[in-house]
Amino acid sequence: MQVRFHKMHGLGNDFVVIDARAAPVEITERRARALADRKTGVGCDQLILLERSDIADARMRIFNADGGEVEACGNATRCVVSLLGGTATIESLGGMLEGTSIGDQVSVDLGEPRFEWDAIPLAYAMDTRAMPVGWEELESPAAVNVGNPHVIFFVPETDAVPLDRLGPLIETDPLFPARINVNVASVDDRGNIRLRVWERGVGLTDACGTGACATAVAAIRAGLVDSPVTVTLPGGPLTIDWAPGRPIRMTGPATHVFTAETDLSRFG
């Protein structure tokens, strides 16, 4: 079965986007994992499937490179808005999203963050501003759900953290029944944060839009920075705007790399 796909990225966090609004496409966990494989498939951090929606311009389904379907992806949301053009609404497992493209920049509204321990979700009750837990030098994280679950460690220097070793340990810790995205952040000043992310179901990525949102929200909530704040990831900067009781707004680039066709039956 031949399908057309778009290769896109947001600050290096890359996607295979299949537009299945006109003709349904079946994606299984095995097929998503095979498509995402960088050696034998097309290669991407996330596979994005666009379907028809009765309540929005499109329904966005997100599959991590390990094949698991998840609720939210900030960088992919910007890419999908730029693909749909102008101002677009998107239905997702994480909630209703809305965004606008202005040149190569896309601004998206990701809804309100959740802080309750069972909304993260955590295995048991604790204060999500500073949780009394730690993994080696990473201690007292905050947790925020921005459609998907994030834990955030504020550290003096992000590059000094062995995230490739600690990321998988934290992602799969029983404290996080849905697993978790792991963020390590350094606050440079009241307008700037540096961030590295170990993504659930993927590993280290060049950028994570929801990670930037969760980190900015945790830092604003802790009084460490002011909104809007620039969050700089290895792939580049995102601007995050948030105040309590308001939705999170993220602005950054969306890049279309190429459009091609592939035979889906190759991938199981």
Ligand X SMILES: N[C@@H](CCC[C@H](N)C(=O)O)C(=O)O
**Active-site amino acid positions:** 73, 208
> Which position among 16, 44, 48, 75 is part of the footprint of ligand X (CB under 6 A)?
75
Angle at 214 between CA 212 and CA 219, to 5 degrees: 95
DSSP class of residue 130 equals S
Give least dist CB 180 to ligand X, A.
Answer: 8
Give least dist CB 110 to ligand X, A.
Answer: 9
User: Of 71 and 139, which CB lies nearer to ligand X in the complex structure?
Assistant: 71
For position 209 contacting ligand X by CB under 6 A, the verdict is yes
Strand partners, 7: 16, 258
Burial 161-189 (b: 16+ CB within 10 A, else e): bebeebbeebbebebbeebbbbbbbbbee
Give least dist CB 263 to ligand X, A.
Answer: 26
Distance, in Å, from the CA atom of 66 to the CA atom of 46, rounded to the nearest integer, reads 9
For position 231 contacting ligand X by CB under 6 A, the verdict is no
For position 227 contacting ligand X by CB under 6 A, the verdict is no
For position 158 contacting ligand X by CB under 6 A, the verdict is no
For position 181 contacting ligand X by CB under 6 A, the verdict is yes
E strand segments, 11-83:
13-19, 46-51, 58-64, 69-70
User: Of 34 and 202, which CB lies nearer to ligand X in the complex structure?
Assistant: 202
User: Of 9 and 31, which CB lies nearer to ligand X in the complex structure?
Assistant: 9
Could you give the count of Cα atoms lying within 13 Å of 239 in the half-sphere of its Cβ? 9
- Contact residues toward ligand X (CB under 6 A) are 13, 45-46, 64, 70, 73-75, 148, 181, 199-202, 205, 208-210
